[in-house]
């Protein structure tokens, strides 16, 4: 039986995918005290990268969708590490990287695709500190990569 958080996600039409394995020499998550540190999750859905450079071949709405997918992939890592999404007490921090043209300045709007989903699912506990940074390139040419720090019970 799914918990409250998974029921909320299901009501939004979201099923939590299986967590992806690392593609290099790192671990997907680290637990330190009551915090779960989640390695960068890229914009991949159903095994296919959501690619694009914002301001060149992707617009803000496409970027927001890519960031939302990163959040869904973060949910997958939380579930894999903690066994239950209902253990989340607070989303503490997101660090977001947006594959951007040099003159693209709407990284915060793009990252709202993830931030909005965390708040929609967790309410006030989903409100978090955040960085939204434009970068020249990301792995696999993806549009967005986001890492997270989660406090859990």
We report the CATH number of the domain holding residue 31 as 3.30.1330.40
Residues 6+ apart with CB under 8 A from 94: 111, 114, 115, 118, 128, 129, 130, 131, 146, 147, 148
User: What pLDDT is stored for residue 3 in this prediction?
Assistant: 85
Question: Residue 120 CA to chain centroid, in angstroms?
Answer: 14
Q: How many CA within 13 A on the CB side of residue 107?
A: 21
Any idea what DSSP says for residue 87?
G
User: What pLDDT is stored for residue 1 in this prediction?
Assistant: 42
- Tally of domains in the chain: 1
DSSP 3-state assignment of 2? coil
Structural domain including 87 reads 4-152
pLDDT digits (tens, 9 = 90+) for 10-61: 999 999 999 999 989 999 999 999 999 999 999 999 999 999 999 999 999 9
DSSP 103-130: T---HHHHHHHHHHHHHHHHGGGG--EE
The distance in angstroms from the start CA to the end CA of the chain is 20
pLDDT digits (tens, 9 = 90+) for 67-80: 999 999 999 999 99
pLDDT above 70 (res 150): yes
User: What pLDDT is stored for residue 2 in this prediction?
Assistant: 63
């Amino acid at each position: 039986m799914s918990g409250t958080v998974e029921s909320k996600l299901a009501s939004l039409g979201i099923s939590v995918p299986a967590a992806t394995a690392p593609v290099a020499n790192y671990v997907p998550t680290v637990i330190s005290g009551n915090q779960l540190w989640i390695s960068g999750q890229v914009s991949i859905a159903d095994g296919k990268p959501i690619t694009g450079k914002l301001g060149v071949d992707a617009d803000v709405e496409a970027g927001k969708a890519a960031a939302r997918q990163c959040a869904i992939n973060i949910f997958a890592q939380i579930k894999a590490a903690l066994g239950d999404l209902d253990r989340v007490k607070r989303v503490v921090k997101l660090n977001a990287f947006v594959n951007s043209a040099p003159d693209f300045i709407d990284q915060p709007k793009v990252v709202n695709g993830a931030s909005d989903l965390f708040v929609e699912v967790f309410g006030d506990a989903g409100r978090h500190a955040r960085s939204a940074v434009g970068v020249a390139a990301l792995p696999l040419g993806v549009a967005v990569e986001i890492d997270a720090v989660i406090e859990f019970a």
